[in-house]
């Protein structure tokens, strides 16, 4: 049992203590403001000198509700002590404030520097600026703290949590050619022609002649791989109306409905809120209702194009009945956007309270490796292996984003099935 003593109470402090000890380390703890009845392993989060043995971390003041001034606590030029440094006490930085700053995503609030899709610009991330995004640094900090508590009190507290992984798939466009209307197919043909995408024209011709299957129809392969290797998985379906950025077949197409029915028998399914649903509660509710009519009621989501911003997008998810979101990751690089491989609850900084929306971070996305970073399959496999190794070291949760399209093993995706397979079998 760990006893945390603090001289003040706040929603932020309660939230971060629960995250560190309950959610991440999975160790029993209690939090008290009574300094007279302390025993066992005592973490002293105060400026007070306690009469008993304790491990002291001096509060920076950042965990007082309403404090937004994080810039004065972070030093990008000091590579050894960059977050909330302390000169006194047993810990060289305020680990509680540091973790709160990172997982609350405070730096994503009130920004005006969005990318072309109105998303947070990852170049503004403190973790990216410090080249820390490839490590689950929050988890590493927590296990280091546990080790230092053990050393201070000559005990052997251990975390019981175990490594696990789950594959997730975004079904942006269920089929490349099948089940699309003639006008839409004709328009796509001329678009490919005008863009000199001759490989696509050749694919379309071979499909029409019955020489190849639809290049996006890789579900038999995916489902067989998941079953053979007993992998947990989630499939996110885009059911928004057709638009420039939302190009799935019609939500009421019987073949799409049958596909969702088939997959939902053995795998979790969630909504993939469309590009056009961005911060629009009514559109989001409509898309969720479309999925609910096909399968059991969903409470899981991941935004299409990872197009969301804080806090409004998460607030809207809650209003729409979503309880779990899997969008927390980078759209242009790999690594941990919130510095952790542990799921955490969205803390609404505007209203200063912990919500019921649980955020599941992912480590990388297939399209980022291939399309954004232009990495080869071989190089990608090595990078993924390194990140996964870091997650294993903290017994964390490894999650990645794939698409049915990228597992075709054709054209620009040739060789990427091996990346997918080594991701989960490494």
Rg for the chain (alpha carbons), in Å?
24
pLDDT digits (tens, 9 = 90+) for 56-67: 999 999 999 999
pLDDT digits (tens, 9 = 90+) for 34-80: 998 898 999 999 999 999 999 999 999 999 999 999 999 999 887 66
pLDDT in tens, the chain (426 residues): 999 999 999 999 999 999 999 999 999 999 999 998 898 999 999 999 999 999 999 999 999 999 999 999 999 887 667 899 999 999 999 999 999 999 999 999 989 899 999 999 999 999 999 999 999 999 999 999 999 999 999 999 999 999 999 999 999 999 988 877 656 655 565 575 566 565 666 676 767 677 778 999 999 999 999 999 999 999 999 999 999 999 999 999 999 999 999 999 999 999 999 999 999 999 999 999 999 999 989 999 999 999 999 999 999 999 999 999 999 999 999 999 999 999 999 999 999 999 999 999 999 999 999 999 999 999 999 999 999 999 999 999 999 999 999 999 988 999 999 999 999 998
DSSP state of 24: I
Position 109 scores a pLDDT of: 96
pTM: 0.94
Position 48 scores a pLDDT of: 96
CA–CA separation, 309 and 279 (whole Å): 8
Cα separations in angstroms, 54 against 32, 42, 59, 61, 146: 14, 5, 15, 20, 13
| Strand positions, DSSP E, 33-131 | 41-45, 55-56
Find the farthest-apart pair of alpha carbons in the chain and give their distance in angstroms, rounded: 84
Are 86 and 46 in contact by the 8 Å Cβ rule? The answer is no
């Amino acid at each position: 049992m760990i006893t945390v003593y603090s001289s003040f109470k706040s929603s932020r402090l309660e939230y971060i203590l629960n995250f560190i000890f309950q959610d991440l380390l999975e160790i029993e703890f209690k939090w008290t403001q009574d300094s007279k009845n302390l025993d066992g392993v005592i973490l002293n989060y105060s400026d007070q000198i306690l009469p008993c043995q304790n491990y002291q971390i001096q509060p920076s003041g950042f965990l007082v509700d309403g404090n937004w001034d994080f810039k004065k606590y972070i030093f990008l030029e000091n590579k050894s002590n960059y977050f909330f440094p302390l000169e006194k006490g047993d810990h060289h930085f305020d680990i509680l404030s540091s973790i709160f700053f990172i997982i609350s995503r405070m730096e994503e609030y009130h920004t005006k520097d969005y990318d072309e899709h109105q998303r947070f610009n990852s170049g503004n991330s403190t973790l990216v600026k410090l080249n820390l995004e490839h490590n689950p640094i929050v988890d590493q900090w927590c296990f280091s703290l546990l080790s230092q508590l053990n050393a201070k009190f000559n005990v052997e507290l251990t975390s019981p949590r175990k490594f696990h992984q789950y594959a997730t798939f975004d079904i942006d466009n269920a089929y490349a050619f099948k089940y699309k209307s003639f006008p839409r197919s004709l328009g796509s043909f001329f678009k490919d022609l005008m863009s000199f995408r001759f490989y696509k024209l050749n694919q379309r011709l071979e499909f029409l002649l019955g020489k190849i299957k639809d290049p996006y129809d890789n579900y038999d392969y995916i489902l067989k791989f998941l079953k053979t290797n007993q992998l947990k998985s989630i499939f996110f379906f885009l059911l928004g109306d057709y638009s420039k950025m939302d190009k799935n077949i019609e939500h009421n197409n019987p073949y799409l409905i049958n596909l969702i029915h088939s997959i939902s028998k053995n795998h979790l399914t969630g909504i993939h809120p469309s590009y056009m649903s961005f911060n629009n509660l009514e559109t989001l509710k409509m898309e969720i209702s479309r999925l609910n009519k096909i399968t059991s009621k969903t409470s899981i989501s991941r935004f299409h194009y990872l197009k969301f911003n804080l806090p409004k997008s998460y607030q809207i998810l809650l209003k729409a009945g979503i309880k779990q979101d899997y969008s927390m990751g980078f759209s242009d690089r790999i690594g941990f956007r919130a510095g952790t491989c542990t799921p955490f609850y969205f803390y609404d900084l505007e209203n200063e309270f912990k919500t019921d929306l649980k955020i599941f971070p992912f480590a990388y996305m297939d399209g980022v490796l291939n399309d954004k970073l232009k990495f080869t399959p071989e190089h990608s496999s090595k990078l993924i292996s390194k990140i996964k190794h870091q997650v294993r070291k903290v017994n964390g949760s490894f999650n990645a984003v794939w698409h049915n399209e990228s597992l075709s093993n054709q054209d620009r995706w040739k060789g990427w099935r091996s990346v997918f397979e080594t991701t989960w079998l490494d």
